[in-house]
């Protein structure tokens, strides 16, 4: 079958890949489309990532084969499937660290959504696959996984009505956060050096104010009566952002790292962290519960995603999509075989 094959060293070319065969409890999907995620880009550009590999985990497809014993899905169903599933029973899972479960990263779609066909393993079929209602488009449904990751972060940040939240980075993830935080009752301020992105977050996704660092800082202070933001959600910028973010967080507030990025050590004096009682949290990836909630939010039209896809590319041009994302020219790339 056709696939976009990663060879290592940041290189992706159109190529051939063995078409997966399905076993008991599994589904074979003919891929309809797959979103390109920032985490795919991070893997593609990391020098240590080995090829050959096929990425893509925001997968929408048609079920063309169902293994023995599959319940709830049938040939012909249009579904969205995510890649990682925790065991649900271990020490990590029972304490809300589902993405740290040893089974989580070991699970995966085969080979990935940037291919013509994808095998969905049994655990993913049971806990990370959803039949798409007719009124939801493929592109909208592809946001289940990224939205679930954002939901898990908002849960962990413990956002309350009346809070002020500052979202750093207004790519597609930043725009999902803007909506979720506003739904939670927070006044949202967005920060991004790209004026066009700030405008979109403000005009289309409910940020009360958005702009470059200076403008966002001013707005965060004003909206919080000078206290600073209750929550700062960092979706981009890496370690360097922390000092600036801490200066805009209220005493006792929290800073949430949603994404990794450049920089090793976090530049924050212990005295600042301690005396201002700041909390730094992180979340990596989603959980079955947040996938289900994300699916519901999209199906119910509570979160708007249709306008987030800026580029649609065929599978054999995935490398272009990667370049567009790296140059921050694309808000979101959606790839179709
Ligand atoms: Zn993703
Ligand atoms: Zn587990």
CATH number of the CATH domain containing 87? 3.90.180.10
Residue 21, pLDDT > 90, answer: yes
Q: Are residues 47 and 115 in the same domain?
A: yes
Give the whole-number percent of the chain exceeding pLDDT 70: 100
CA nearest to 209, candidates 190, 193, 194: 190
How much is the average pLDDT of 139-155?
A: 98
Residue 336, pLDDT > 90, answer: yes
Question: What separation in Å is there between the alpha carbon of 226 and the centre of ligand 1?
Answer: 35
How much is the average pLDDT of 4-24?
A: 96
Tally of structural domains, the chain: 2
Write out the DSSP string of 73-132.
Answer: --TT-EEEE-S----SSSHHHHTT-GGGSHHHHH---BS-SSBSEEEE-HHHHHHSEEEP
Q: Are residues 108 and 192 in the same domain?
A: no
Residue 265, pLDDT > 90, answer: no
User: Which ligand approaches the C-alpha of residue 55 most closely?
Assistant: 1
User: Which ligand approaches the C-alpha of residue 171 most closely?
Assistant: 1
How many residues belong to the chain? 337
Residue 158, pLDDT > 90, answer: yes
pLDDT tens-digit readout, 214-263: 999 999 999 999 999 999 999 999 999 999 999 999 999 999 999 888 88
110-114, 136-140, 221-225, 238-242: which has the minimum mean pLDDT? Answer: 238-242
Residue 264, pLDDT > 90, answer: no
Question: What separation in Å is there between the alpha carbon of 284 and the centre of ligand 2?
Answer: 15
User: Which ligand approaches the C-alpha of residue 148 most closely?
Assistant: 1
Q: Are residues 332 and 258 in the same domain?
A: no
User: Which ligand approaches the C-alpha of residue 291 most closely?
Assistant: 1
The structure's pTM equals 0.97
Q: Are residues 132 and 173 in the same domain?
A: no
**Domain containing 222: what range?**
152-282
Question: What separation in Å is there between the alpha carbon of 149 and the centre of ligand 1?
Answer: 8
């Amino acid at each position: 079958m056709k696939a976009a094959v990663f060879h290592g060293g940041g290189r992706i070319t159109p190529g051939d890949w063995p078409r997966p065969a399905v076993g008991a409890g599994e589904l074979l999907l003919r891929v309809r489309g797959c979103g390109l995620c920032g985490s795919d880009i991070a893997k593609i550009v990391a020098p240590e990532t080995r090829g050959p590999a096929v990425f893509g985990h925001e997968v929408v497809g048609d079920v063309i084969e169902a293994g023995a014993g599959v319940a709830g899905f049938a040939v012909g169903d249009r579904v969205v499937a995510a890649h990682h599933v925790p065991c649900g029973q271990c020490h990590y899972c029972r304490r809300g660290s589902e993405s740290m479960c040893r089974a989580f990263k070991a699970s995966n779609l085969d080979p990935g959504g940037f291919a013509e066909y994808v095998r969905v393993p049994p655990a993913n079929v049971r806990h990370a696959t959803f039949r798409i209602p007719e009124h939801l488009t493929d592109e909208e449904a592809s946001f289940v996984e990224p939205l679930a990751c954002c939901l898990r972060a908002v849960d962990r940040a413990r956002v309350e009505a009346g809070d002020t939240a500052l979202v750093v980075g207004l790519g597609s993830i930043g725009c999902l956060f803007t909506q979720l935080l506003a739904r939670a009752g927070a006044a949202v301020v967005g920060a991004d050096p790209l004026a066009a992105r700030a405008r979109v977050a403000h005009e289309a996704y409910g940020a009360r104010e958005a702009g470059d660092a200076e403008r966002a800082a001013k707005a965060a202070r004003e909206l919080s009566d000078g206290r600073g933001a209750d929550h700062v959600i960092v979706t981009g910028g890496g370690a360097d952002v922390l000092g600036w973010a801490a200066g805009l967080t209220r005493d006792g507030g929290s800073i949430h790292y949603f994404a990794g990025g450049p920089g090793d050590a976090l530049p924050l004096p212990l005295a600042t962290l301690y005396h201002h009682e700041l909390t730094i949290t992180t979340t990596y990836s989603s959980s079955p519960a947040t996938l289900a909630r994300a699916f519901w939010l999209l199906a119910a039209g509570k979160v708007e995603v249709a306008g987030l896809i800026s580029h649609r590319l065929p599978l054999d041009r995935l490398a272009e999509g990667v370049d567009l994302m790296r140059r921050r020219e694309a808000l979101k790339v959606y790839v179709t075989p």
